Amino acid sequence: MRPNVILILADDMGFADIGCLGSEIRTPNIDAMAAGGTLLSAMYNCARCCPTRAALLTGLYPHRAGIGHMGANLGGAAYQGYLRDDCATIAEVLRADGYRTLMSGKWHVGGDYADGRDADIWQPGDPTHPTPLQRGFERFYGMVDGAGSFFEPHFLMQDDRRIHITADRYHFTDAVSRKACEMIADSADSAAGDAPFFLYLAYTAPHWPLHAWPEDIAAYDGTYDKGWDAVRRARHEEMLGRGILQQPWDISPRDPQAPPWQAQGNRDWEAQRMAVYAAMISQMDRGIGQVLETLRAGGQEDNTLILFLSDNGGCAEFMAEDGWAQTYPTQLRDGRPAMLGNRPDLRPGGAETFMSYDLPWANVSNAPFRLFKHWVHEGGISTPLIAQWPARFGGPRIAHAPCHVVDILPTILAATGASYPGELGGQALQDLDGESLLGLLAGGDWSREQPILWEHEGNAAVRLGPWKLVCRHSRDWELYNMEEDRTELSDLRGRHKPLEDEMIARHAAWCREIGVRDWAELEQSFLTYYNMTSQH
């Protein structure tokens, strides 16, 4: 019997943010999946939400899927900002093979919606703004853009129509979980109830803004009063004690831009911000528990493959009061103003606020690694992947082989027996970049045949076996042995010249092949684009 498949994606959640990775954040349902399945400790994403989602859904590197940067159309097929016609999504492939295809959550691979304040000018469904229903999904509930208020998301769709919130008590995370459960139940009750389903459950939690229910926040009162230094150390010590890491690597130093906790002003407010962030993850975990219970009630849990991961590392973005956050709605339905920005005079978490948790706490999320979302050092690209499929493999099992989100589609093909088509709608499809991980998840020996490569905003990297070559835009390359030093503390550049030359050459050839453009040129195009859209 072919399995159901559920692909769960968290948004801006760091490597160390769930309980089974050593976090103090309570995630019992995710932890239970890890205890009964496989944890991949070296799964990699693409450092940013849009590129990761494009690669995850298509099995192609982001540029080959059309989203080499974000949703803005910067010109050319690699940077058009929406999924290309010469790629196929998991939904398109599985639907052609008889699967029901369901999605609840965040889309963000269908073009840019730059002016978040005026949803009436948005055009979902036009040729440059494909919706999930145009890319293989039969059912959709969620947002087509990338972020927004959890209490009052400014643009929601159900299937192919825009909807408005009317409920007095609403939170997007809860709604996404509830709709996912409804879709699973409806699928079992439909005329095609014997058909397996694929569900893409794409949360926006814990992406900013910091929005959670008061009772969930209260559960973390006092938890973060000891500050980011102590919490970060504690998480690393838990990882070492549980044997989660491949080696007992040293933790990277506190980021240079993060002050010591004792030197930080507004410590009560800082602790509250992290409490809201933790509450958002616990709320997501509760929703995942509801999905698991729906499967159990329908007798479907044993033959459902569930994959859980995050789209990038923790996010260090500061929510400036006078910055680009002003593109989001500034008034609530009841007329109250939404106060944008990281303001210590406001208690974080409520609908009237719009805050982020900022760099020092993101440094905690990414422990023991360094740097953040958008960089391709380990803190920006590392996520645990948790896989559960009781009928095929048990656990707990930890595997350390390096993997990438492009491997997800081939893995699902192997699990379902579906074949990847040569063409879609008369358009020839590109060959997949990923490799199936099914054998690794089931406990077999597995090693990647091809290197893993990255480019985002000029930040670049190559992972070849145990070696990683990495650089920040316009800076020198660095070389690390990932098996000995995954926290990237000892730069070996210059000591392995033939290897370095080979890896640099491979990266350059890959960039030429997939259409990578110079970030200095693209950045100006990006800024010009947003200046133009902000004037509309």
Q: Is 60 exceeded by the pLDDT of residue 192?
A: yes
Q: For residue 471, what is the enclosing H or E element? A: strand 467-471
pLDDT band at 370, cuts 50/70/90? very high
Mean pLDDT of 125-154: 95
Question: Amino acid letter at 534?
Answer: S
What is d(CA 376, CA 218) in angstroms, rounded to the nearest whole number? 35
Averaged pLDDT of the chain: 94
Q: Is 60 exceeded by the pLDDT of residue 101?
A: yes
Residues ≥6 apart with Cβ < 8 Å to 216: 279, 280, 282, 283
Q: Is 50 exceeded by the pLDDT of residue 15?
A: yes
In 11-115, beta strands by DSSP E: 38-44, 100-106
pLDDT band at 120, cuts 50/70/90? confident
Q: Is 60 exceeded by the pLDDT of residue 403?
A: yes
pLDDT band at 353, cuts 50/70/90? very high
Q: 46 or 119: which carries more pLDDT confidence?
A: 46
pLDDT of the residue at 321:
54
Q: 175 or 319: which carries more pLDDT confidence?
A: 175
Instruction: Report how far apart the first and last C-alpha atoms of the chain are (Å, whole number).
Output: 53
What is d(CA 16, CA 13) in angstroms, rounded to the nearest whole number? 8
Mean pLDDT of 136-155: 94
Mean pLDDT of 103-122: 84
**Percent of the chain scored above 70 by pLDDT?**
96
**Short-list 428, 440, 387, 436, CA closest to 409:** 436
DSSP 278-300: HHHHHHHHHHHHHHHHHHHHTT-
Q: Global pTM?
A: 0.97
Q: Is 90 exceeded by the pLDDT of residue 113?
A: no
pLDDT of the residue at 217:
98
Mean pLDDT of 172-187: 97
pLDDT of the residue at 330:
83
Count Cβ atoms below 10 Å from residue 32 Cβ, excluding itself. 18
The first and second tokens of residue 239, run together, are 């990882």
**Short-list 211, 223, 226, CA closest to 346:** 211
Tens of pLDDT, residue by residue over 283-341, are 999 999 999 999 999 999 999 999 999 999 999 998 765 455 666 888 899 999 999 99
Helix residue ranges per DSSP H, 330-406: 358-365, 378-381
Distance of CA 149 to the CA centre of its chain: 18
**Percent of the chain scored above 90 by pLDDT?**
88
Burial 509-521, CB ≥16 within 10 A → b, else e: ebbeebebbebee
Tens of pLDDT, residue by residue over 424-482, are 999 999 999 999 999 999 999 998 989 999 999 999 999 999 999 999 999 999 999 99
Whether the bond into 410 is cis, omega within 30 of 0: no
Tens of pLDDT, residue by residue over 245-280, are 999 999 999 999 999 999 999 999 999 999 999 999
pLDDT of the residue at 331:
87
What is the CA angle 236-242-244, rounded to 5?
75
4-450: what CATH class? alpha beta
Mean pLDDT of 177-192: 88
Mean pLDDT of 390-415: 96
Q: Is 60 exceeded by the pLDDT of residue 21?
A: yes
pLDDT band at 110, cuts 50/70/90? very high
The first and second tokens of residue 272, run together, are 């509250």
Q: Is 50 exceeded by the pLDDT of residue 536?
A: no
